[in-house]
Amino acid sequence: MYKISAKREQWKAYLILVVPAALIYFSVMAFPTIFSIGLSLTNYNGGKIFGNPKLVFTGFSSYLRIFQDPDFYLALKNNLFIVLISVFGQIPLGFGLAYILSRRLVKGVDFFQTMIYLPNVISPVIIGILFKSFYLNQDSVYMELLRKLNPAAEFTLSNHPMIPVLVVMLWMYTGMYVIIFLANLQRIDTSVIEAAKIDGASEAQTLWYILLPALSGVIVTCAILAISGSLKSFDLLFVMTGGGPAKQTSVLSLYMYSKAFVGAPNYPLANAISTVMVIISFILIGLTQGMEKRFGGKE
């Protein structure tokens, strides 16, 4: 009798704790995802208001249209540039700065920690406006500097327009990884590092054989955050470049936005783009986790 009562109470606890969370997850995450995929397989373009009263199942025609559009490949290429600068720029730089701060190799650790993290508390819209005036005008500081370095060359906004965007993203998001690595470096037992030093290990050997293996799981988590954040980047680019000039700084999120809200709406195509973005994200995250299992250490 006591066992039955205990099991009943356990089920009540599960229902009270799990069901509300499951309902919230389904309504906020699962249902919109399923609805978006379903919408991408139809011809829905806003109903009667936009002259499309009859809903017709069109299959994978929107997906085929994506892969036939050159603008998709340009946006995908720019997104991959952002992924690369995030994974191989922000994360190594963030780890390096965190290592310097944790080992107190510089004075004023608290000051530098605050200054490095500061861009993360500023709105991306504000940052986009500031750097737009700094980089993307013919009379901007960036253009004047290029002319000073090479007076004979004629620089325009079409000369490598993604470089300013990548520099801003590197500056803006590195601070977040600094804080993550700094918090996890402080968890490592200092006696292990001291023992390695006593055994004659150099600073580089301590870093390579002790710290990096201990932080392999954290590095993978940071890589997943970087990949997912890179693929959904929208606000900074929308304000800073709007995808221009001539769509040269367009990314998948801007490409999706243009199909859904600029000119005649094409909601099936926009939803198909979002589905492709999710699939690409899963593929990159899967590759990252696979590499961690193959080469990573154990925490």
**How is 3-18 classified by DSSP, letter by letter?**
HHHHHHHHHHHHHHHH
Instruction: Say how far apart CA 31 and CA 20 lie, in whole Å.
Output: 15
Coil, helix or strand at residue 226:
helix
Compute the C-alpha angle 162/64/271, nearest 5°. Answer: 70
Whose tokens are 């510089």? That residue is 106
Give the type of residue at 100.
Answer: I
- Domains in the chain, CATH or no CATH each: 68-295 (1.10.3720.10)
Provide the β-strand partners of residue 57: 42
- Specify whether the CB–CB gap between 78 and 249 falls below 8 A: yes
Mean pLDDT of the chain: 83
pLDDT band, residue 156 (cuts 50/70/90): low
Instruction: Say how far apart CA 234 and CA 255 lie, in whole Å.
Output: 10
Give the type of residue at 92.
Answer: P
pLDDT at 154: 61
Those residues whose C-beta lies under 8 Å from the C-beta of residue 65, and which sit 6 or more positions away, are 269, 272
Q: Looking at mean pLDDT, say which of 21-25, 53-57, 253-257 comes out highest.
A: 253-257
- Specify whether the CB–CB gap between 36 and 275 falls below 8 A: yes
Instruction: Say how far apart CA 49 and CA 53 lie, in whole Å.
Output: 8
Whose tokens are 């195509």? That residue is 269
DSSP sequence for 81-150: HHHHHIIIIIHHHHHHHHHHHHTT-SS-HHHHHHHHHGGGGS-HHHHHHHHHHHHSSTTSHHHHHHHHH-
pLDDT for 43 beyond 90: no
pLDDT band, residue 51 (cuts 50/70/90): low
pLDDT for 261 beyond 90: no
pLDDT at 209: 81
Instruction: Say how far apart CA 226 and CA 177 lie, in whole Å.
Output: 9
